[in-house]
């Protein structure tokens, strides 16, 4: 039986924004958002702006279909971890999603597969859906290691969260495609998504309902092409999520 599920388009604002810029962006989204959108929509904002999103979502009906996400979460529950933000804090602000294991965190903050798996665990325990990022570097792709790398990264999360693994979202983000303007071709992306789907199938009989997003220079021009692949269930969008019109065009391209 084929399960038809709504695609998910999630914006990753990264470390961009200000009170004024966020308000303009969110007002632009609220004004242009189809009612109801044919896909699920989320924005993953920097932690200091979670409250601003909440306040604006209360004031702008057009944002009612947009879920809130964060970009990281602590692997710890609470306590002496200066600078960290816990899953329960994100829950207090109504976060539905949190990105874990983004390649920028793996690269600049030395996050290991085990830490990423713990972060996913914290999110799930708080009732937040982790968007688990996996992806290979250019050197790994050229060495023919793409499948081995993404499978190793996902395996750590499956191992730590096996009983509720169908509750996660996976994002395949080839590192060489993030913020570079280079996108995986739909065939290249689909091939990796199929590998990830097979790995999920081996772990849960609910694998068909796990959304596997593609991320890496997805934009208004290439979204429909990528989102047309059978195992691409949405997108994690960086740069193009900072422009309301571009993000809305991607949302319009995403339907089951």
Q: Would you tell me which residues interact with ligand PEP (CB under 6 A)?
A: 12, 14, 173, 178-179, 215-218, 236-240
Distance CA 104, CA 36 (A): 33
Burial class (CB in 10 A: 0-12, 13-18, 19+), 202: exposed
Backbone CA torsion sign across 159, 140, 111, 71: negative
Cβ-based neighbour number of residue 249 at 10 Å: 17
Q: What is residue 136's three-state secondary structure? A: coil
C-beta closer to ligand PEP: residue 66 or 203: 66
| Catalytic residue (choose from 102, 136, 167, 193) | 102
Based on the residue annotation, tell me whether 102 is a catalytic residue of this protein.
yes
| Catalytic residue (choose from 111, 136, 167, 173) | 173
Based on the residue annotation, tell me whether 173 is a catalytic residue of this protein.
yes
Least Å distance between CB 88 and ligand PEP? Answer: 25
C-beta closer to ligand PEP: residue 21 or 198: 21
C-beta closer to ligand PEP: residue 98 or 218: 218
Least Å distance between CB 102 and ligand PEP? Answer: 6
The distance in angstroms from the start CA to the end CA of the chain is: 15
Least Å distance between CB 162 and ligand PEP? Answer: 26
The residues carrying an active-site annotation are: 102, 173
């Amino acid at each position: 039986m084929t399960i038809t599920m709504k695609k998910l388009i999630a914006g990753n604002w990264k470390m961009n924004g200000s009170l004024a810029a966020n308000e303009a962006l969110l007002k632009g989204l609220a004004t242009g958002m189809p009612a109801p959108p044919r896909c699920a929509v989320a924005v993953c904002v920097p932690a200091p702006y979670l409250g601003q999103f909440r306040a604006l979502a209360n004031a702008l009906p057009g944002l009612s279909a947009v879920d809130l996400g964060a970009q990281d979460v602590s692997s710890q529950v609470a306590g002496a971890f200066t600078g960290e933000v816990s899953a329960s804090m994100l829950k207090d602000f109504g976060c539905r999603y949190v990105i874990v294991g983004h390649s920028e965190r793996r690269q600049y903050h030395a996050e290991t597969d085990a830490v990423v798996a713990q972060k996913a665990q914290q999110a799930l325990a708080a009732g937040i859906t982790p968007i688990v990022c996996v992806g290979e570097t250019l050197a790994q792709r050229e060495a023919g290691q793409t499948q081995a790398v993404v499978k190793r990264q996902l395996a750590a999360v499956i191992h730590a969260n096996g009983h509720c693994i169908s509750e996660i979202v996976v994002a395949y983000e080839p590192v060489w495609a993030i913020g570079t303007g280079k996108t995986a071709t739909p065939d290249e992306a689909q091939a990796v998504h199929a590998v990830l789907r097979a790995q999920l199938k081996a772990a849960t009989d609910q694998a068909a309902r796990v959304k596997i997003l593609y991320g890496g220079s997805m934009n208004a021009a290439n979204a429909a092409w990528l989102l047309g692949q059978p195992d691409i269930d949405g997108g994690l969008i960086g740069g193009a999520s900072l422009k309301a019109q571009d993000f809305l065009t991607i949302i319009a391209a995403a339907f089951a």
